[in-house]
Amino acid sequence: MHGRPRNPSKPEDEAASAAKAAKLRTLQSQFINYHHNLNYDKEAVEISAKLLEINPEFYTAWNYRKLAVEHFLSQPDSDPVSILNEELRVVESALRQNFKSYGAWHHRKWVLSKGHSSVDHELRLLDKFQKADARNFHAWNYRRFVAALKNIVDEDELKNTTDMIERNFSNYSAWHNRSVLLSNLLKSKAEGFFPKGKILTEEYDLVHQAIFTDPDDQSGWFYHLWLLKQTISRDTPWLHSAWPASDSELIISACKSASGCMDSSSSRYSSDGTIPVILYFNQAVRGVNSSTVSVKSALAESKDIIWRPLSIDKYESAKAWVAQLNFSDVQLDYCITYPVEVSVGDSSEIVSLGGFSLSNAFEFKFAVRFQQLDSGLTEGKNIDAILWDDSNFQKYEMNSGESNLLSLFNQLRIDEDQAGVDSMWKVNTLANEIELFRELLSAADCKIGKLTLARLLTALDTIVSGRSTLTSSQMVHTEEILALYSDLMKMDPPHSQYYKEEHSLALLRQATCCKDNLLRYCWRYVKLAKTNPESFICIRFNSLSLARIGSVENLLWVQMLDLSHNELRSLEGLEAMQLLSCLNLSNNKINSFTALDPLRHLKLLRVLTISHNEIGDHSIDSTRYLCSSPLSHTIPNDWKLAISSGDVDRTIKYWEAFIIFRDLTLTQLEITGNAVVNEDFISFLRKTLPTLEWLDGKIS
């Protein structure tokens, strides 16, 4: 199996196989006849038993036996114990033939659920089976089922896993079952399993024995990864960051048209008469709505504000949520400042996928001030194209008269007092683990050891950064982490894409962890800096070999972003950057319009460059299985209706592009250098994007 060459069969083996096949065909023919005629006499039931002893994977025969058992149990003089014991005997015979038969194990569970069989006998039988194959996951699943029937406490089952692990450190199934049991005990804070830190310390000691005994065995490493997750993660979700920043002031330029209604334009933060309010949680949550999050403002009624999840999953939860404050119908007073207050009303309704409620009630305030802009400055004037050449950018340096970039970079963080002793235990534990694995790697060049060390260093930096100020660089181990992932790319080419992505995430964590680091990537777009220096700060993460986007929770305020000359295949996470107006994705590895799906959420996007990618190079779009896709539930229900009045044939031909671009109001698009681009596609774009002023460097 799995590519191994088969040994040539001997003549006597072929004869035996042919005889077995002939017998099986005869039994199947007899059985099917009995089954179709609903015959449950002794001969028919015995035929099904013989058939299953030869081929336990014949599901129809197991279903037949269920029907036969129900028939026998319905008789007035039936003996349930005897009937069901016979079923257990048949299953046991089938399992001896194939210990990994799904049908046999499912049938045994069904028999036991009838409540007439000895659970103690099942445990004794399981002991025999698990001695024969201690890692068989069917047996472990069945053991959990039997333990639940017998009401065996998790503490006793945990002791059983200890015994099995001590007999064989390589028993992955025992380690896995241990993690399931320990999760339950820690969650319920059972007696003897609190505080969490004490228990996890003991578990680290246990898994060290396995890892240092045989570093090449993966079982202990997987359990160590689970322990690391338990160490660094918090069950309860919390608000990680938000925009607008707390105590900030937004200045929005607006012009009054001849008709008397308010149109926003050249806005520092908004260009469609709305102000996005973004909440970014540390994990996906649901329950964010107008009753759980209150917004008090003269610009909009709280009851009219709708919170929308970004990158929604099947559980209707998301890390990033956005609401729009619509001021287009408000009679604005340019002489006053409009305060806005955002606070959680009932955080118990905001819950994670694990069912935990929001841990920190939060409140932040910001102010909005409007300045009038003469409509003559914006009407009837072509917008110059944004040019991404280096010559059009100059390094950003803050002047004393400008607002501090730190105010845009502000995040809501957990109070240090809330982290307390628990945080110190985490730091000490991670530091101890790092020391141990550095020692291990000094003696052996272990691939999984390097990966674990990189994860430990990342976890330590993340925890320490959460306890530090924003003005200092906290990701002190970044260089070591990057070196480890670079080594892993060379050591393990089949998984190099994963290591590249982790390398990218580490690089972006370092780049965005504090103001001083981020300033290295801040540039001014020269042509716009003179008129609006603060709005057109461009974050340039170009030519960094990025394979994945990360740390967007620190970039919610960014309007202009350059990600060109990287190795991006997906834009997952970019949907949270609701203020993006100009985006450069040229010279990456984007191979389909599906990968651009997050752009549909960026309603302020005006300039998009996706030139020189791989769109159209691949006949099969594998991206749709890796990220959000227009083929999923995210397709607007009215997309067919939307094309009914246009060029139907062309729109259907490029329907994925239509789904992406239909709701965007782009003024500039660069798409040259992709295989999909031809005259027909350009004509489609012009019809789909009537707002375009520039297309591939030419006035549209």
pTM of the model: 0.84
Q: Tokens 């925890």 identify what position?
A: 463
Neighbour count for residue 79 (Cβ, 10 Å): 12
With contact defined as beta carbons under 8 Å apart, do 80 and 73 qualify? yes
Q: What pLDDT score does 356 carry?
A: 85
Burial class (CB in 10 A: 0-12, 13-18, 19+), 206: middle
Q: CA 82, CA 102: separation in Å to the nearest integer? A: 24
Non-local CB neighbours of 42 within 8 Å, separated by 6+ positions: none
What was the pLDDT predicted at 109?
Answer: 93
Helix (H) or strand (E) holding 46: helix 42-54
Q: What is the Cα 401 distance to its own chain's centre?
A: 42
Token pair, residue 509, equals 């964590």
Radius of gyration (C-alpha) of the chain in whole angstroms = 32
Helix or strand holding residue 639 (H, E): helix 639-642
Question: What single DSSP character describes residue 654?
Answer: T
8 Å CB contact between 393 and 164: no
* 252 CB neighbour count, 10 Å cutoff: 22
446: helix, strand or coil: coil
pLDDT at 474: 67
Residue 689 has a pLDDT of 94
* pLDDT for res 421: 55
Dihedral, CA of residue 170, residue 171, residue 173 and residue 178, to nearest 10: -100
- CA-CA distances (angstroms) from residue 577 to 385, 498, 535, 562, 604? 22, 24, 15, 13, 10
Q: What is the largest CA-CA distance in the chain?
A: 99
Compute mean pLDDT per 10 residues along the chain, 700 residues long, and list them. 57 71 84 91 91 90 94 91 93 89 93 88 84 83 90 92 90 92 89 88 94 89 94 84 85 53 39 82 91 87 83 82 86 86 82 84 86 52 80 80 54 45 83 94 89 95 68 76 97 96 96 88 79 70 97 92 97 94 97 94 94 84 47 48 59 89 94 95 93 90
Beta-carbon contacts of 317 under 8 Å, excluding residues fewer than 6 positions away, are 284, 285, 286, 309, 352, 353
How far is 351 from 374, CA to CA, in rounded Å?
47
* Separation CA 174–CA 160 (nearest Å): 9
Distance from C-alpha of 483 to C-alpha of 443, rounded to nearest angstrom = 18
How far lies 668's CA from each of 126, 256, 399, 563, 672, in Å?
67, 25, 31, 17, 13
363-372 and 337-344 beta bridge pairing: antiparallel
| Close Cβ partners of 179 (under 8 Å, ≥ 6 residues apart) | 223, 226
639, amino acid identity: W
